Amino acid sequence: MRLCTNCNKETSNKRYCSLQCSASGRISSVNKCKCCNQRLGGWYKSREHRTQLCQSCYGKHKVIEYGNKTKLESILECSSYASKHKFSKIRQHAHRISRIHNLYSDSCQGNNCNYNKHTELCHKIPIGNFDDHILLKEINSIDNIVFLCPCCHWELDNL
């Protein structure tokens, strides 16, 4: 007796125990995402290092990896790209974190505001108040990100 190469059941066949395992066995573990176990399309073959991650998990992995940079590294990276503002990469990272954790809200999360036309991502503790050697994952932590209407955002920043 042999083991099925797909489900590891005993079989008398050389490779698979059934037609179903034969069909799904063609999608080997090499062609599945290491993170979510979904089947990979042709997209993963174009990457240099073949990370074996689907496009969604690859994006999340890159966002989380970018969170290990310091505030100073991010500011220096912005200056090399001729960015309009030195904190633009940090804010961009915060938006990506909010998408990963489904934090976006159409209604203002301020004090009983109930405004629901437009919200902006806001840091409760301003980015400028953090030391240059703090990691971005601490600046853009879930506890420091909130979505506010423009009026509440202005009040938080200026009062």
pLDDT tens digits, one per residue of 38-63: 776 665 455 534 567 777 777 787 88
Please state which of the ranges 10-19, 30-39, 58-67, 108-117 shows the lowest mean pLDDT. 30-39
pLDDT at position 115, please?
85
Which among 51, 50, 76, 47 has a CA at the least distance from the CA of 61? 51
Distance CA 39, CA 12 (A): 28
Burial letters 55-64, b for 16+ CB under 10 A, else e: eebbebeebe
CA-based Rg of the chain, rounded to a whole angstrom?
23
**H or E element, residue 55:** helix 55-66
- At residue 20, the 3 state secondary structure works out as helix
pLDDT at position 58, please?
76
pLDDT at position 99, please?
86
Per the listing, tokens 């008398």 go with 12
Average pLDDT, rounded, for the chain:
79
Provide the token pair at 15.
């490779």
Interval 60-77 mean pLDDT: 84
**CB of 6 within 8 A of CB of 32?**
no
pLDDT at position 122, please?
92
* Torsion on CA atoms 56, 60, 61, 62, rounded to nearest 10: 100
Is the whole-model pTM more than 0.75? no
Residue 13 has pLDDT above 50, yes or no: yes
In which band, very low, low, confident or very high, does the pLDDT at 19 lie, cut at 50, 70 and 90?
Answer: confident
Angle of the 88-100 helix axis to the 71-80 helix axis, nearest 10: 120
